[in-house]
Structure 1
Amino acid sequence: MTINKLKRTAICFSLLAAFSCTDNFEEINTNPEGATTGQIEQDYNNIKSLFKPSFSRMYISDITWQYQIQQSLQADAWSGYMITPVPFGPLNNYDYALNPGWNYYAWDVAYLDVISNMYKVKQRAEGKFDQFYAWSLIIKVAQMQRITDMYGPAVYSKFGDLGAVLYDSQKDIYTQMFKDLDFAVEELTKRVNAGEASSFKGTDLSVYDGDYSQWIKYANSLRLRMAMRVVKADAALAKTEAEKAVSHSIGVFKTNSDVMNVKPSVNLEVIDVMSHSWVGLFMGADMQSILGGYEDPRIAKYWNTAEITPGQYASVRTGVTYPSGTSYAKFSQTGPRTKNGLVTWMTTAEVYFLRAEGALRGWNMGGTGKELYEAGIAASFEQNGVSGAAAYSADNTKKALDYVDPLFPANNTPAVSKVTVAWGTTNEENLEKIITQKWIATYPDGQEAWSEFRRTGYPKLFRIANNKSGGVISTELGVRRLPFAQTEVANNPKGVESGVAVLGGPDNGATRLWWDVNKANF
């Protein structure tokens, strides 16, 4: 399998000032004075049409090679989830020789296909049809949380400016995202309390089918995720925002009917295609070590057994030297979890684990840490259609397995994760258990798993076998961020310069983000 060629039509850049060279310049750069009778008669179609791309482009669920560039060749591997069985040339993210030809794509897609459309919604709906403006803010925040957690500083408040578009610091981005969620939740809650029928039905491609209450729960749950992300950078802000999310009258996810699943307009299961049709995506060593060691029944939902070891699983360690392009072709490929036609933006299990950590920190999360932790495990088991959550949660014996490469013993390495599943005694021990179980439950979203690994150091993952970063990126700490997009370096250099100024270090993969604070978890 070889990586599909990038075939992109020329785009007028600066990317983030792209509106200055679009065909509809006047429409985008002029605030409409109001909706015409014709616009109202067409049932807000001039606004609704802008939402569709967001549902398929947030995680790029409609074009396989684009998902591969956006996430598979970076976070999915750095999280320990899955890995390609072949090398892709001398510059390879897996061994930390970061490839700039891959690492710009998440940025480009986010701004061109999602943020730009939500900006148009703002122009057409703000102050007139605020239910749509509120909805656009939730989607914008969901996208920007991913982007800023990849790159750090980014364009947020200055989006749509002409000429050089300056970057916001990550701290300022998070501050503004919380404010945007404030408006969105308040606006939609007001409409729910008034008994208003949803304007989103028929446009909403998620399983929520336009339900305002469900979008409020998602916004609150997203707030909780963001609050926990910043806990080491601003503990007071984290506590305030987390308790705000949980205490809201409609609240956060509590049952699996709340899981944020999207039904892509193109029914293409991109991870399954990469793994099976391309024979190019296989089980990561950490997945086999942790799930195999716990005898976790979810392993059969996530992965197929391997042809090389009939009836058993076989995984690939990140950063190994590939003897040939087919050496690992008979190892474990993806299983039913990535073959259900849905893309998961957030799970109920994750929300319980976030609340469990909050309780561990003494916040009011509506339950004890142990109760919420075990509820998270139960929710994940139910979501994946497996039984035995209670016995699994009580197990205080099983631990992660050593990694064994059935073909190349030189890659073997001892297990690094040492915790059992059962609730422990100290805060640090229990945090490791919470994050390890969140890591299992969050699969296959490697981006979120990579972010939590950077924030907490958990779960403990195998170090890569070959570090080719030239001493830039630590083997122990791993990649901390993506360098700024090459499209921006070429076309918005002053913007990139402003981003580097608030980054706190050089523009490379070793510089920590604002929330990635080098201090103890407690």
Structure 2
Amino acid sequence: MELNKIIKTAICVSLLTVVGCTDNFDDINTNKNGITPVDFEQDFNHIKGGFSPMFNNIQILNPPDLYQLQQGLNSDVWSGYMASPTPFAGGINNTTYSLVDNWNGVSWETAYKTIMYNANDIANKSKGKYDQFYALSLILKVEGMHRLTDIFGPIIYSKFGTLDTTIAYDSQEEVYTQMFSELDIAVAELTKRVDAGDVSVFASTDESGYKGDYKAWVKFANTLRLRLAMRIVKIRPAIAKVQAEKAIAHKFGVFTTNADLFKVVSAVYTNPIATISGGWLDIRMSADMESILRGYDDPRLPVYFDSSVQFPGQYKGVRTGIAIAAKADHQDFSGVGSVIRSKEVVLMTTAEAYFLRAEGALRGWNMGGDAETLYKAGIQASFDQRGVSGASAYYGDNVKKPIDYVDPNFSENNSPAVNNVTIAWDAAATNEVKLQKIITQKWIAGFPEGQEAWSEYRRTGYPKLFPVIKNYSGGTISSTLGIRRINFVSAEKTGNKGGYETGLAKLGGPDNGGTRLWWDTAAGNF
């Protein structure tokens, strides 16, 4: 990636100007063929056009350089999944805890230009009239925007679309509360339509692989509710329990087979990580992945990563937060493997649903099974998803542990293993050890979706990851705890100053990468 070519002035980031300076919204909705508005509405085309931008930008599918800034050079790295061999900005960048505004503003800008704008537009055209579309847009909105609030904390949510000169931020608690309500609306509406035997009008618009199946969308919404419920377990445990049990108790339930998982299927674009890793050599296997997957002799390893060019037949990772003099020092370590060489991007797995339920059961919630059974089911679902065998032997292993990390080129990057936990369930272990096992396996199964992995790492502290060696945060970010959030974008500070100040007040700490989010408390997991 050539940064000079892709970093542009942060236009349209402020919500005061986002609609006016976006080029393609009129193109989406403008009649170009002499068709009357009445004709255009006959097949709901006036509504359907807004869905594709939402699907394609939860994670940016194209161009890859924008995905790299939206997620590739932040959460994919901070989650412990991947590392960059490239010394961007002289090695003083996100990977070494010097947050780059021109990089990190992309996630904010993309969410508002593509997710919130189109969700608002669909709501205006469908609410109270074509409520099936409204319901579907709410689910996509929650999926896209919970990621944003989990990056920044307070965000513009309930006030989006207003004409106020200052657009106020919602606290993260307010955002989550509204999201649970929006999922209530969506689930009730689509369940009603399934019960009535309605034929879906969403099949030709659905880019998820569900082919417009309303029941499948309800299961996704329920599983998304379960994810959000677990996220707030340390700060609002009673609400978390109610929301999680609501997801499980619904008659359609949550994901149970790999046919249920949520993905975006593109007719055109391959997962952008394929270009970033295989074409540009800008991302490699992380030292954490090497330590854990090699230590466990994990059968998913050759699916997740390619063997090293520099060390044929071996899988070698790069440690994040090290001094990098030249890209050539580590670019021939292991790249990302066949898991990303397709036109499908998986955003929520069935394995995740089982691991969420396992944690819920560990906490004494009614999850439709016990923690051990659900834990093993999560591993089995991940093995099945990746087409590998041997799950029962794997989850029965009580010997193998992550291995020490060795950088064959620079010994100063070496480290003893830090995530010292075996795989096999141990009924006699403490809840803390059981949780570490659950989250470690959940982390493995979720690859390569780094946003969720980073969020869960912040919430639980698992899996334990190697700390950075080089920390250029000026003391604002702990090398031990890692980056907790991204600071608010610069364009908001100038273009929506009053709104930014409301967000800062609701953040509860300084606007830097070391401030914890609302759900990211310093309290213990139990």
Task: Give TM-score, length-normalised by structure 2.
Answer: 0.95
Q: Name the aligned partner's letter for residue 420 of structure 2.
A: K
- 5+ long unaligned stretches in structure 2: 30-35
Spell out, residue by residue over 1:321-379, the C-alpha distance to the aligned partner (whole angstroms, 9 max, x if none).
11212111210011110112201110000000000000000000000000000000000
- Name the residue aligned to 2:33: none
- CA positional deviation for 1:212: 0.3
Match for 1:470 among 467, 470, 474? 474
Match for 2:381 among 360, 379, 382? 379
- CA positional deviation for 1:18: 2.9
SS, match of residue 459 in structure 2: helix
Task: Give the distance between the partners of 1:454 and 1:277, measured in 2 at CA.
Answer: 31
Task: Give the distance between the partners of 1:421 and 1:62, measured in 2 at CA.
Answer: 37
Q: Indicate if the aligned counterparts of 2:152 and 2:485 stay in contact, CA closer than 8 A.
A: yes
- CA positional deviation for 1:410: 1.1
1:216 aligns with 2:188: no
- Name the residue aligned to 2:32: none
Match for 1:446 among 434, 445, 450? 450
> Aligned in 2, Cα 1:320/1:7: closer, same or farther, shift over 3 Å?
closer
Task: Give the distance between the partners of 2:363 and 2:294, measured in 1 at CA.
Answer: 30
- CA positional deviation for 1:10: 7.8
Q: Indicate if the aligned counterparts of 2:135 and 2:186 stay in contact, CA closer than 8 A.
A: yes
- Name the residue aligned to 1:111: 112
- CA positional deviation for 1:491: 1.0
Task: Give the distance between the partners of 1:280 and 1:291, measured in 2 at CA.
Answer: 21
SS, match of residue 104 in structure 1: helix
Task: Give the distance between the partners of 2:52 and 2:460, measured in 1 at CA.
Answer: 35
Q: Indicate if the aligned counterparts of 1:16 and 1:159 stay in contact, CA closer than 8 A.
A: no
Match for 2:403 among 401, 406, 415? 401
- Name the residue aligned to 1:281: 283
Match for 1:516 among 501, 515, 520? 520
- Name the residue aligned to 2:67: 67
1:323 aligns with 2:342: no
Match for 2:253 among 251, 254, 268? 251
> Aligned in 2, Cα 1:101/1:14: closer, same or farther, shift over 3 Å?
closer
> Aligned in 2, Cα 1:224/1:127: closer, same or farther, shift over 3 Å?
same
Task: Give the distance between the partners of 2:10 and 2:477, measured in 1 at CA.
Answer: 33
SS, match of residue 141 in structure 2: helix
SS, match of residue 344 in structure 1: strand
Q: Indicate if the aligned counterparts of 1:290 and 1:399 stay in contact, CA closer than 8 A.
A: yes
Q: Name the aligned partner's letter for residue 287 of structure 2.
A: A
SS, match of residue 157 in structure 2: coil
- Name the residue aligned to 1:31: none
SS, match of residue 454 in structure 1: helix
Correspondence 1:20-419 to 2 at 5 A: 37-41=38-42, 43-90=43-90, 91-162=92-163, 163-419=165-421
> Aligned in 2, Cα 1:312/1:112: closer, same or farther, shift over 3 Å?
same
- Name the residue aligned to 2:484: 480
Q: Indicate if the aligned counterparts of 1:319 and 1:465 stay in contact, CA closer than 8 A.
A: yes
Task: Give TM-score, length-normalised by structure 1.
Answer: 0.96
Task: Give the distance between the partners of 2:395 and 2:260, measured in 1 at CA.
Answer: 23
Spell out, residue by residue over 1:15-37, the C-alpha distance to the aligned partner (whole angstroms, 9 max, x if none).
25534677989x99xxxxxx974
Task: Give the distance between the partners of 2:513 and 2:195, measured in 1 at CA.
Answer: 47
SS, match of residue 502 in structure 1: helix
Q: Indicate if the aligned counterparts of 1:17 and 1:160 stay in contact, CA closer than 8 A.
A: no
Task: Give the distance between the partners of 2:8 and 2:161, measured in 1 at CA.
Answer: 22
Q: Indicate if the aligned counterparts of 2:234 and 2:519 stay in contact, CA closer than 8 A.
A: yes
- CA positional deviation for 1:426: 1.6
Moved more, 449-458 or 55-64: 55-64
> Aligned in 2, Cα 1:518/1:340: closer, same or farther, shift over 3 Å?
same
> Aligned in 2, Cα 1:131/1:519: closer, same or farther, shift over 3 Å?
same
- Name the residue aligned to 2:431: 427
Task: Give the distance between the partners of 1:8 and 1:128, measured in 2 at CA.
Answer: 40
SS, match of residue 161 in structure 2: coil
SS, match of residue 117 in structure 2: helix
Correspondence 1:487-498 to 2 at 5 A: 487-498=491-502
Q: Name the aligned partner's letter for residue 478 of structure 1.
A: G
Q: Name the aligned partner's letter for residue 94 of structure 2.
A: N
- CA positional deviation for 1:56: 1.0
Q: Indicate if the aligned counterparts of 1:157 and 1:168 stay in contact, CA closer than 8 A.
A: yes
Match for 1:455 among 459, 482, 486? 459
- CA positional deviation for 1:40: 3.8
SS, match of residue 441 in structure 2: helix
Q: Indicate if the aligned counterparts of 2:10 and 2:491 stay in contact, CA closer than 8 A.
A: no
Moved more, 320-329 or 379-388: 320-329
Q: Indicate if the aligned counterparts of 2:16 and 2:495 stay in contact, CA closer than 8 A.
A: no
> Aligned in 2, Cα 1:175/1:55: closer, same or farther, shift over 3 Å?
same
- CA positional deviation for 1:6: 2.1
> Aligned in 2, Cα 1:463/1:383: closer, same or farther, shift over 3 Å?
same
**How many matched pairs?**
514
> Aligned in 2, Cα 1:408/1:11: closer, same or farther, shift over 3 Å?
closer
- Name the residue aligned to 1:32: none
Q: Indicate if the aligned counterparts of 2:19 and 2:113 stay in contact, CA closer than 8 A.
A: no
SS, match of residue 259 in structure 2: helix
Q: Indicate if the aligned counterparts of 2:150 and 2:455 stay in contact, CA closer than 8 A.
A: yes
Q: Indicate if the aligned counterparts of 1:16 and 1:155 stay in contact, CA closer than 8 A.
A: no
- CA positional deviation for 1:261: 1.5
Task: Give the distance between the partners of 1:12 and 1:388, measured in 2 at CA.
Answer: 50
Moved more, 320-329 or 450-459: 320-329
Moved more, 417-426 or 355-364: 417-426
Task: Give the distance between the partners of 2:245 and 2:46, measured in 1 at CA.
Answer: 37
Spell out, residue by residue over 1:398-429, the C-alpha distance to the aligned partner (whole angstroms, 9 max, x if none).
00010000111111000000100001222111
SS, match of residue 62 in structure 2: coil
Q: Name the aligned partner's letter for residue 64 of structure 1.
A: P
Task: Give the distance between the partners of 2:320 and 2:41, measured in 1 at CA.
Answer: 54
Q: Name the aligned partner's letter for residue 48 of structure 2.
A: K
Spell out, residue by residue over 1:418-455, the C-alpha distance to the aligned partner (whole angstroms, 9 max, x if none).
10000122211110000000000010011100000000
SS, match of residue 419 in structure 2: coil
Spell out, residue by residue over 1:6-62, the C-alpha distance to the aligned partner (whole angstroms, 9 max, x if none).
26588456325534677989x99xxxxxx9743442x10000011011111110012
Q: Indicate if the aligned counterparts of 2:232 and 2:519 stay in contact, CA closer than 8 A.
A: yes
